[in-house]
């Protein structure tokens, strides 16, 4: 008799694919990665290097696995739909990913569901943008609908003149931009959950995310001092999104807590997410293990915390030589509780190259230890 | 400038090498494995397949890494000594491993240190064995000095006739066997610790190991209801062994708690050990991460528990088809806290093919959940 083997294929060789490798090894799941190039963060599990925008490349890769999932949201819908037409299990499916790929479609869909969002408008002209800015207090957030991440494809505008380059080449963006109210928020929150194909869904505790220059810098799990009402509303919003959109795997719903008390959906990610890295050490089941379980339609694990507080601090590249390994000696000596992660990427200023997590029953201690270890590593 | 890379080479492609891969991915250490054959448990990190008993094979592998360590203790001393003569960092070094490889040398060395052991004797004849049996209550444990593990190379004897096959071929065992007192023990304990090259050492909490048919079945961490005196004695024994023998990396000291109260050293292992698998989820720093840190001479991590109790249950093969993956659905549904590990090995009765750990503040709950999940997986 043949023993059963579970095979997951990940398109994209970034740090999320890398971190999925860990629970695959633990559980005994065969994880394969289709990477963009050799020597990626997920090189260890890479079984194929190729261009995922080519249907034949994706098809060849899909033939080697039981289910296809993703390190990022950039696989063209036409490729995903072709795989689905072949009978491949694509998780999350193309119909869900469509909303993660296009921020305008996401706003339209969430609007149809009556979910709370910043004021927004589809912008096709300078006149329309100036009108939106005027209606929204003299400034707006302007986004390219497709392809932005970590502050890229996003800018604050006070006049259509601030976006003349985008407006003049609007055809490059599918003919439309997305304008959004610049929310006066007191903080940003993220609700992470996972949903398996057959419907079971489990959330992690609500977290607070702290951004610097549009990039996630610190995550506090759970989010401190959240009212019972806010906890209920954020949970309801996240579960409404997951069910309505038919997400499978991990879903991150990033939200603003506005100064006027409103909870407004900012962005969605349909994959393991930076706001969930704390769960590797901080939860009974990490987001990476849960994602594999969810896309394989296996029962989901407990998302209970391992300790009262987890703090995650990102390690962003400082230059082209510090890959954070050279200061391991100092950082590990000074911070014996810190769990240091580096992603095997070449050093580059601003690049997400690793993170540090500390799990503790005391929130201030966890924060100080995580920030302390990160500071030592950043010094190199 | 070139960014720093830390490269660890592991000789042997078993589950211990596999489980070292996880902290290597997390930290960003390049782990390479020299495996005996393709398709081993550690296939993902295997960079070379070859015969580690051949000096040239070991040398070629060593040229690709910064430090050599081990999945098992079977690498011939001559090979290790040749690498050391080349200037290769071998951790633990050959002078320490010599005692793990030969149980007779280990008894001699521990005896010279005055450490507590069962009565023992080097046996070279039937007459000597019968005399030892007579002096020790009519029975003894007889061991081959080299190569035994998991109950192999060990038998209970009541007369030299029970070992006539070994005695007649004593040349195969280097001319000597090891006879030991059959200790009337109330339980078995194991003290795991790690020691880095420059001397820093950290223990995990003392654990109780429960064996079935000579193979580890269950580990309770910490060992329940241990007197302060026993805790002190086991800690002292383990630290004396580590320092005297010059171990680097993880050291497991297996001990008997005898009915008369004596603590007696049973076996030593100089590598991550089955008694420490609980630490993957149960400790801030797992034995696999600590081993990598220790052999790279990096500062050791905290060995504090993540929760009050951890219970590990081994998954031993039941037949040639159940690799434990087919019952994931049932086991994960019934036991959402259970952390299931399978090692990617072909199914075979009695083989160590995986384990389950549950970490909880309630000991009975952890034991029931871990045993429950294992029972479902064993049913297939």
B28-40 mean pLDDT = 97
**Boundary-marking domain end, from A181, A215, A231:** A181
Establish if B112 belongs to a structural domain.
no
B182 touches chain A (CB under 8 A): no
Query: What whole-number distance in Å separates Cα of residue A146 and Cα of residue A144?
Result: 6
Q: List CB contacts (< 8 A) between A346 and chain B.
A: 3
Q: Which residues contact A66 (CB under 8 A, 6 or more apart)?
A: A6, A7, A8, A89, A296
The reply to whether A299 touches chain B by the CB within 8 Å rule is yes
The number of domains in chain A is 3
Determine which helix (DSSP H) or strand (DSSP E) holds A232, and give its type and residue range.
helix A228-245
The alpha-carbon radius of gyration of chain A (Å, integer) is 21
Omega before B222 within 30 of 0, i.e. cis:
yes
Closest Cα partner for A283 from A212, A209, A359, A352?
A: A359
B352 inside 8 A of chain A by CB: no
Tens-place pLDDT, residues B302-358: 999 999 999 999 999 999 999 999 999 999 999 999 999 999 999 999 999 999 999
Give the closest-approach CA distance of A198 to chain B in angstroms.
Answer: 13
Minimal C-alpha gap between A317 and chain B (Å)? 12
Pick from A79-83, A149-153, B73-77 the range whose average pLDDT is largest: A79-83
Name the residue of chain B whose CA is nearest to A202's CA.
B336
Residue B82 and residue B214 in one domain:
no
Looking at residue B174, what is its pLDDT?
86
Let me know whether A74 and A164 are in one domain.
Answer: no
CATH code for the domain of B50: 3.40.50.20
Q: Which of B202, B328, B331, B345 would you mutate first to test chain A, the one with the most A CBs within 10 A?
A: B328
Which residues 37-96 of chain A have a CB within 8 Å of chain B?
44-45
| Residue-range definition of the domain harbouring residue B238 | 185-379
User: How far off is chain A from B30, nearest CA to CA, in Å?
Assistant: 9
A354 near B CB under 8 A: yes
Flag if A280 and B329 touch (Cβ within 8 Å).
no
CATH number of the structural domain spanning residue B168 = 3.30.1490.20
The two most distant CA atoms of chain B are separated, in Å, by: 70
Model confidence at B1, in pLDDT bands (50, 70, 90)?
very low
Domain membership of residue A203 (yes or no) is: yes
Same domain, B323 and B192: yes
Chain B positions in Cβ-Cβ contact with residue A320 (cut-off 8 Å): 1
For B370, what's the count of Cα atoms within 13 Å in the CB-facing half-sphere? 30
- Residue count of chain A, please give it: 380
The larger pLDDT score, comparing residue A2 to residue A46, is at A46
Chain A nearest-CA distance from B188, in A, is: 27
pLDDT at A146: 85
The shortest C-alpha distance from B169 to chain A (Å) reads 39
Instruction: Measure A245 CA to nearest chain B CA, in Å.
Output: 25
Q: Are B331 and B249 contained in the same domain?
A: yes
Cβ distance A323 to B299 less than 8 Å, yes or no, reads no
For residues A239 and A53, which has the higher predicted lDDT (pLDDT)? A53
pTM of the model: 0.95
Asked if A337 and B26 come within 8 Å (Cβ–Cβ), the reply is no
* Residue A3 to residue B323, Cβ atoms within 8 A: yes
pLDDT band of residue A1 (cuts 50, 70, 90) is very low
Whether residue B276 lies inside any domain: the answer is yes
A37 CB burial (10 A radius; 0-12, 13-18, 19+): exposed
For residue B326, which phi and psi values (nearest 5 degrees)? -65, -20
A34 beta partners: A11, A48
The model's confidence at residue A213, banded by pLDDT at 50, 70 and 90, is confident
B113-162 pLDDT tens trace:
999 999 999 999 999 999 999 999 999 999 999 876 666 789 999 999 99
**Predicted confidence (pLDDT) per residue in A247-265, tens digit:** 999 999 999 999 999 999 9
- Residue B98 domain-assigned? no
- Of A166, A181, A196, the position where a domain reaches its end is A181
Is A328 close to B5, i.e. CB distance below 8 A? no
CA distance A284 to chain B (A): 7
Count of A-B CB contacts under 8 Å: 131
Is the same domain home to A253 and A197?
yes
- Does residue B321 belong to the interface with chain A, where contact is any CB pair within 8 Å? yes
Examine the domain organization and report whether A200 and A175 are in the same domain: no
pLDDT at residue B79 above 80?
yes
A349 touches chain B (CB under 8 A): no
H/E stretch holding A104 = helix A103-112
Number of H helices, E strands in chain B: 12, 18
Q: Which residue of B has its CA nearest to A332?
A: B299
Assess contact for A311 and A218: CB atoms under 8 A: yes
The answer to whether B195 contacts chain A (CB < 8 Å) is: no
DSSP string, B268-280: EESS--GGGTTHH
**Which candidate in B23, B28, B41, B360 is best for mutational testing of the A interface (most A CBs within 10 A)?**
B28
Q: Specify whether the CB–CB gap between A6 and A66 falls below 8 A.
A: yes
| One domain, residues A124 and A235 | no
CA geometry: angle at B69 spanning A40 and B175, to 5°? 150
B378 HSE (CA, 13 A, CB side): 18
Asked if B329's CB is within 8 angstroms of A28's CB, the reply is no
- Closest partner CB to B342 (pick from A28, A298, A359): A28
Min Cα distance B54 → chain A (Å) is: 27
Residue B110: inside a domain, yes or no?
Answer: no
Q: Buried (b) or exposed (e) across B150-181, using 16+ Cβ within 10 A? A: beebbbebeebebbeebbeebeebeebbbbbb
- Angstroms from A69 CA to nearest CA on chain B: 20
Of A3, A280, A329, which has the smallest distance from its Cβ to B299's Cβ? A329
Q: Which residues have C-beta within 8 Å of that of residue B353, sequence separation ≥ 6? A: B315, B316, B317, B323, B324, B342, B343, B345, B347
CB of A337 within 8 Å of a chain B CB? The answer is: yes
Contact B343/A at CB under 8 A: yes
Q: Is residue A108 part of a domain?
A: no
Indicate if A248 and A174 belong to the same structural domain.
no
CATH number at residue B200: 3.30.470.20
- Domain check: are B284 and B375 in the same one? yes
Q: Which two tokens stand for residue B272?
A: 């991550």
Nearest to B372 by CA among B346, B340, B347, B326: B340
Residues B359 and B272 in one domain: yes
Q: Is residue A55 in a domain?
A: yes
Interface residue B204 vs chain A (CB under 8 A): no
For residue A344, is it left (φ>0), alpha (ψ between -120 and 50) or beta? left
| Tens-place pLDDT, residues A264-323 | 999 999 999 999 999 999 999 999 999 999 999 999 999 999 999 999 999 999 999 999
Specify whether A195 is located in the same domain as A223: yes
Q: Produce one character per residue of A356-380: b if its CB has 16 or more CB atoms within 10 Å, e if not.
A: bbbbbeebeebbebbbbbbebbbeb
Reported confidence tier of residue A147, pLDDT bands at 50, 70, 90: confident
ipTM over 0.90: yes
For the segment A71-110, what is each residue's pLDDT rounded down to a tens digit? 999 999 999 999 999 999 999 999 999 998 899 999 999 9
Using CB atoms within 10 A of its CB, is residue B184 exposed (0-12), middle (13-18) or buried (19+)?
exposed
CB contact under 8 A, B284 and A21: no
Q: How many CA atoms lie within 13 A of A56 on its CB side?
A: 0
Give a yes or no: residue A306 inside a domain: yes
Q: What letter does residue A30 receive in the DSSP assignment?
A: E
Q: Which pLDDT band, with edges at 50, 70 and 90, does B47 fall under?
A: very high
Question: Mean pLDDT in chain B?
Answer: 95
| A89, A231, A253, B118 from A150: Cα distances, Å | 29, 26, 15, 63
Contact B62, B52 (CB under 8 A): no
Contact B306 A307 (CB under 8 A): yes
Residues B163 and B234 in one domain: no
């Amino acid at each position: 008799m043949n023993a059963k083997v579970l095979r997951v294929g990940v398109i994209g060789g970034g740090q999320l694919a890398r971190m999925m490798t860990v629970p695959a090894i633990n559980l005994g799941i065969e994880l394969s990665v289709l990477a963009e190039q050799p020597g990626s963060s997920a090189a260890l599990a890479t079984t194929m290097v190729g261009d995922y925008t080519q249907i034949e490349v994706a098809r060849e890769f899909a033939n080697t696995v039981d289910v296809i999932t993703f390190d990022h949201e950039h696989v063209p819908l036409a490729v995903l739909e072709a795989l689905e037409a072949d009978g491949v299990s694509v998780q999350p499916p193309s119909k869900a990913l469509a909303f993660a790929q296009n921020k305008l479609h996401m706003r339209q869909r969430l609007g149809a569901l009556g979910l709370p969002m910043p004021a927004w408008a589809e912008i096709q002209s300078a006149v329309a943008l100036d009108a939106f800015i005027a209606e929204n207090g003299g400034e707006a957030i302007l986004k390219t609908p497709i392809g932005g991440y970590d502050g890229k494809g996003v800018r604050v505008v006070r006049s259509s003149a601030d976006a003349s380059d985008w407006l003049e080449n609007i055809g490059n963006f599918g003919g439309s931009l997305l304008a959004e109210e610049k929310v006066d928020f007191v903080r940003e929150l993220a609700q992470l959950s996972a949903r398996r194909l057959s419907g079971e869904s489990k959330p992690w505790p609500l977290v607070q995310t702290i951004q610097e220059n549009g990039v996630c810098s610190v995550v506090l799990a759970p989010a401190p001092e959240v009212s019972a009402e806010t906890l209920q509303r954020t949970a309801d919003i996240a579960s409404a999104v997951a069910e309505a959109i038919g997400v499978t795997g991990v879903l991150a719903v990033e939200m603003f807590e506005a100064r006027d008390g409103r909870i407004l959906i900012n962005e969605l990610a349909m994959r393991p997410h930076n706001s969930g890295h704390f769960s590797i050490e901080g939860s009974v089941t990490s987001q990476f293990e849960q994602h594999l379980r969810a896309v394989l339609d296996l029962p989901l694990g407990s998302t209970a915390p391992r300790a009262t507080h987890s703090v995650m601090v990102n390690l962003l590249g400082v230059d082209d030589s510090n890959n954070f390994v050279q200061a391991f000696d100092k950082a590990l000596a000074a911070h014996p509780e810190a769990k240091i992660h580096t992603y095997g990427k070449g050093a580059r200023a601003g690049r997400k190259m690793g993170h540090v997590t500390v799990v503790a029953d005391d929130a201030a201690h966890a924060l100080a230890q995580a920030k302390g270890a990160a500071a030592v590593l950043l010094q190199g």
